[in-house]
Amino acid sequence: MTKRQVRDQLDRPLRDIRISVIDRCNFRCQYCMPAELFGPDFAFLPRSELLTYEEIHRLATLFIKLGVEKIRLTGGEPLLRKDLPVLIKMLSNIDGLRDIALTTNGVYLPKYAKELREAGLKRVNISLDSLNDELFGTINGRNVGVGPVLKGIEAAKEAGLGIKINMVVKKGLNDTEIIPMAAFCKERGLELRYIEFMDVGSTNGWKMDDVVTKKQIYEMLKNEFELETVEPAYYGEVAKRYRYKDTNVDVGFITSVSESFCSTCTRARLSANGQVFTCLFNGNGHDIKEFMRSGVSDEDLENRIKDIWGQRSDRYSDERTEETRKARKKIEMSYIGG
């Protein structure tokens, strides 16, 4: 496939797209879908509002023509979407795609990991915020212990999938789990990503006082482990990575709050209901679903994507202040993933 690289107003190329396939989840994590707001009567998207697999494939093909090399499927919990391996196989066969990954809470991996790998999935990011059953049950809002997630990790290993563990750290909630999680992942050869608690959406009660910064976590790790800096593997790599000395095991940090990486952000997001978002923190999406369903040609659709990215100037984390945070309209995490 001949690619036509598109760049935004700050000369950032389009290289990654995160595609949310569903807005539903079996968990109610406090930082994403708190149970008190996403209760039994919450109105999730009807099936007709979700992009079909054929529509996702069509859009993904055009995004790849414009420079995208990596796709990550997200949710909600993406494995709640029926026949997800079918979509993965469709996407993995697109010429020019180098990598396809999935973010999941891991609970359904024992059932689907082998089929996902056979369909072409390369990697999974598994969310695990604590190794303590009681605390983890509190965080996920469903009183689900750690066991089902650990079984999911083992299933992913057995299927031959690459694995990263995501841990969102919130002060006063699970910051005591920072060292135990590091030891657990180091011993098992799993790459751990500490994610700073972020002000995504408007329902998670975010306050700066709740953030444990990368610097603070790093200082804690240094007291327990010898760490070496790892250079970025590619332009726009999100995680700041380190390696445990004399091992091949990395540990990384997603520093959206304390150390912005807006200047090299190459990611677009496609929501479960077919809107393109050019920033995780920007609630002003561009409705591409209705435009596509109006019967436009691939050329028209491609030009629309080019226009959306070409007009992009988002740099929210660079500009975050209390005033801008309050004034900014945001989309909920459950619609566009992480």
* CA-based nearest residue to 144, from 152, 298, 337: 152
Beta bridge partners of residue 199, listed in sequence order? none
pLDDT value at residue 335: 65
CA distance 199 to 201: 6
User: What are the residue boundaries of the structural domains of the chain, listed by start?
Assistant: 16-336
pLDDT on residue 3: 79
Residue 190 confidence (pLDDT) above 50: yes
Q: What is the pLDDT of residues 103-157, one digit of tens each?
A: 999 999 999 999 999 999 999 999 999 999 999 999 999 999 999 999 999 999 9
pLDDT in tens, 50-88: 999 999 999 999 999 999 999 999 999 999 999 999 999
Pair of tokens at residue 4 = 């036509």
Question: Mapping DSSP to helix (H, G, I), strand (E, B) and coil, where does residue 192 land?
Answer: strand
Please give the CATH topology (third level) of the domain spanning 16-336.
Answer: TIM Barrel (3.20.20)
The band of 21, judged by pLDDT with boundaries at 50, 70 and 90, is very high
Q: What is the pLDDT of residue 259?
A: 83
CA dist list (Å): 71 to 18, 67, 97, 224, 271: 6, 12, 8, 35, 13
pLDDT over 80 (residue 233)? yes
Six-digit token pair at 23? 């807005």
pLDDT at 33: 86
pLDDT band of residue 327 (cuts 50, 70, 90) is very low
**Statement: residue 99 has pLDDT above 60:** yes
- Residues 6 or more apart whose CB falls under 8 angstroms from that of 46 comprise none
In the prediction, which pLDDT does 209 show?
85
For residue 316, the SS3 value is: helix
Is the pLDDT at 249 greater than 80, yes or no?
A: yes
